[in-house]
Structure 1
Amino acid sequence: MCERYSLNKSKTELEERFQAEMLGDFKPRYNIAPTQLLPVLTSESPKGFSFFYWGITPDFAKNKPVSQKLINARVETINQKISFKSSFEKRRCLIPADGFFEWKRIGKKTKTPYRFTLLDEGLFSFAGIWEEFENEKGELNHTFLILTTEPNGLVKDVYERMPVILTKENEKKWLDPYTSEEDLLKMLKPYQAAEMLSYSVSPLVNQVLNDTPSVLKKTSPTDQFGNYTLFG
């Protein structure tokens, strides 16, 4: 499960990388978590960033509270489950990021946080789907989730799943409403491990309120002084 990611880039960098306009300001984010309002590019508006909440309510379910939302969907069943099939067919999105976090279990009660990035630590995008639903006040909310797949060799040492990272070539195809289901499914595979790097980070990332550059700094697992249990 992908529960945290980072977007440590400026508005200008995002606009240049994705060739899309962002209305309003944007500040780098270091410790992004579910339920937060975040930038995405949708199949309906690929040239302009939208801000959706991370955590999706299936289109058949009305007025679900935040606690019942989902944050990930498995690629193995994305075109089969009734809760995701419609979004997969009609409402796909790109989720900009420059890294994501996973926790490696050490013993029964301890976990070590790791950060994963591309080799150049540049921007990339997760494959996502989005949904529109009515909240308890009758207001329309827009939400998204991240697709996950089997881990590559790098992530496998830490966790059993990883988010789907799209290549630049596949980003336009992912948003294109005319891309066939067969071609879409071919994109949903583990990213090349040789093109990524990973390193352990401070347990500061375990707390959502720690949205500062310090959570991205490399930290030896042996220097974490047993604070792994802050997470979970």
Structure 2
Amino acid sequence: MCGRYTLATPAERLAEEFGVSGPLPEIPPSYNVAPGRGVAAVVADDGRRRLEVLRWGLVPAWAEDPSIGNRMINARAESAAEKPSFRRAFRERRCLIPADGFYEWRRLLEGGKQPYYVRRRDGAPFAFAGLWELWRGEGGEKIRSCTILTTRPNRLLREIHDRMPVIVPPDLYGLWLEGGAEREELEAVLRPYPEEELEAYPVSRLVNSPANDGPRCIEPAA
């Protein structure tokens, strides 16, 4: 799964990286982005990309209680197109969720778990494959929310966890955001990211608590 990640890249750089137009939201830097928070996402309307803030934890349009989003932070790439909670979003509302890196926890033989930080070797920001939805409450409340797709791990992540987030190659950003793309075409996106382009190292257990949010979270463990 993907339950925590980082994003400290300024919105202006993200706009350039992802071809975004229009006004930019305020996106404070975070080294411990946690579910339930507002997260940056790139969505497309009529061929134009915009950067907005969505709540992490997808709330299906048909949900009676928006708290269901607490259990919808990830969607399996292998089954999202068929799952009632995700299939409409998979068909019509795909998005890119920018990140600088993400955390995964490795189970230790002696007990407990060791957090690892995973990022691109060149340090550049990248994008998770995401889905988004709009929920409307009876009282007029609106929630725009998202989930991150996961897939089987590549060889680097296999030693740490049995799942990894889907990372979209830059040359496939357009395909992923394109509303009319066929499911067969999207299979090119829903694959483990090449391990040679990533690096992973153990970090402090500070990241275990969402209350800890600063550069120390990504420092290599002593």
Provide the alpha-carbon RMSD of the alignment: 1.7
Written as runs of structure 1 = structure 2, the 5 A alignment for 1:148-167 is: 148-167=150-169
Task: For residue 133 of structure 1, give the secondary structure of its aligned residue in structure 2.
Answer: strand
Structure number with higher helix proportion: 1
Q: 2:81 is matched by which residue type in structure 1?
A: N
The alpha-carbon distance between structure 1 residues 139 and 181, as it changes in their structure 2 partners (threshold 3 A), is: same
- TM-score by structure 2 length? 0.93
- Structure 1 consecutive aligned stretches of length 4 or more whose deviation exceeds 3 Å: 66-69, 135-138
Given that 2:151 and 2:163 are in contact with CA atoms closer than 8 Å, whether structure 1 keeps it comes out as yes
Q: 2:38 is matched by which residue type in structure 1?
A: L
Per the alignment, residue 30 of structure 1 pairs with 31
Task: For residue 115 of structure 2, give the secondary structure of its aligned residue in structure 1.
Answer: strand
Task: For residue 166 of structure 1, give the secondary structure of its aligned residue in structure 2.
Answer: coil
Aligned length in residues: 220
- Of 25, 28, 47, the match for 2:49: 47
Identical positions, percent: 37
Structure 2: any 5+ residue segments left out of the alignment? none
Q: 2:58 is matched by which residue type in structure 1?
A: I
Distance in 2 of aligned mates of 1:67 and 1:128: 14
Distance in 2 of aligned mates of 1:215 and 1:172: 32
1:18 to 2:18 alignment:
yes
Distance in 1 of aligned mates of 2:82 and 2:187: 12
Distance in 2 of aligned mates of 1:108 and 1:144: 36
Q: 2:120 is matched by which residue type in structure 1?
A: L
Distance in 2 of aligned mates of 1:207 and 1:31: 9
Given that 1:92 and 1:174 are in contact with CA atoms closer than 8 Å, whether structure 2 keeps it comes out as yes
- Of 99, 120, 123, the match for 1:121: 123
Given that 2:25 and 2:51 are in contact with CA atoms closer than 8 Å, whether structure 1 keeps it comes out as no
- TM-score by structure 1 length? 0.89
The alpha-carbon distance between structure 1 residues 101 and 151, as it changes in their structure 2 partners (threshold 3 A), is: same
